[in-house]
Structure 1
Amino acid sequence: MKQLYLHIMKWFLPVLFISYMAGITLFTHSHVVNGVTIVHSHPFKKGSEHSHTTVEFQLIHLLNHVLVTDSGLIPTFAVAALSLLCILFIRSQVEPYHRSCPGVISLRAPPVA
């Protein structure tokens, strides 16, 4: 079941993104309502006039003015930075010696510390 879900998501998410980008890029138009120009995009038939209700204009306004703050990015950045530091610190302790020429067989014994 999980494999089916992953297979569907593998195709659904790119198609959703491409259709969204096409919708906001290809169908941009404007309406003048009470002296205010409202520019938005959605698929519609070219050459025919269409209008929106007040509720639709409010929905367009809410969808176009989403505020995203950085409050979710700071903890994510901190976790990523700390993870990178831990990986670098642990790796430097685990592998203290490196061969100068990987894949080349040395004909002498390693140095004694």
Structure 2
Amino acid sequence: MPSQSKNEVKRLFLNIMRYFLPILFVSYLASLTFFAHVHVVNGVTIVHSHPFKKGAVHQHSTVELIHIHLLSHLMADGAAVVFALSLFIPFLLCLLLGCLQHIHFCSPYHGVIALRAPPAFRFFAI
């Protein structure tokens, strides 16, 4: 594939992502806001959200309830919380005090389009 067509494909992909990702986020936020509901199963209250028809009988299978549980719970021990705070507090102080002047984003693969969690970055104070 010639480099010009690769650039066109890359540009098309980035244009699609420019609109798709905000729409996906707004849809997720709307689902959380407008479709939250409660199920009581064997005395256990399960709160979750997804589009459903109001007034219709709405139930989930056992497998669906297990998936809801696994997708909506985060468990971390105290060491993880302390570690996260030990990274966050200096970053917040540095940000508030204005000592960050340059941000350099580092990517191990140049020219690769990869959607992932927030990129790794380094701060250089000058």
With the shorter chain as reference, the TM-score category is: 0.5 to 0.7
Higher strand share: 2
Residues of 1 paired with 2:45 and 2:19: CA distance?
37
Q: Give the TM-score normalised by structure 2.
A: 0.56
Residues of 1 paired with 2:38 and 2:60: CA distance?
11
Q: Give the TM-score normalised by structure 1.
A: 0.62
Relative contact order (C-alpha < 8 Å, sep 6+): which is higher? 2
Residues of 2 paired with 1:33 and 1:39: CA distance?
11
Runs of 4+ in 1 over 3 A off after TM superposition: 67-75, 80-86
- Match in the other structure for 2:55: 47
Residues of 1 paired with 2:28 and 2:43: CA distance?
29
Structure 2 residue 8 is matched with structure 1 residue 15: no
Percent of aligned pairs with the same amino acid: 55
5+ unaligned residues in a row in structure 2: which ranges? 1-8, 102-123
Would you say how many aligned residue pairs link Structure 1 and Structure 2? 86
Q: Which has the larger radius of gyration?
A: 1
SS of match in other structure, 1:46: coil
Q: How do 1:1-113 and structure 2 match up within 5 A?
A: 1-67=9-75, 69=80, 74=87, 77=91, 84=101, 85-87=124-126
SS of match in other structure, 1:62: helix
SS of match in other structure, 2:47: strand
For each residue in 1:16-36, what CA deviation from the matched residue of structure 2 results, as whole angstroms up to 9, or x when unmatched? Answer: 000000011100111111011
For each residue in 1:11-55, what CA deviation from the matched residue of structure 2 results, as whole angstroms up to 9, or x when unmatched? Answer: 000000000000111001111110111111110000001111111
- Match in the other structure for 1:98: none
5+ unaligned residues in a row in structure 1: which ranges? 88-113
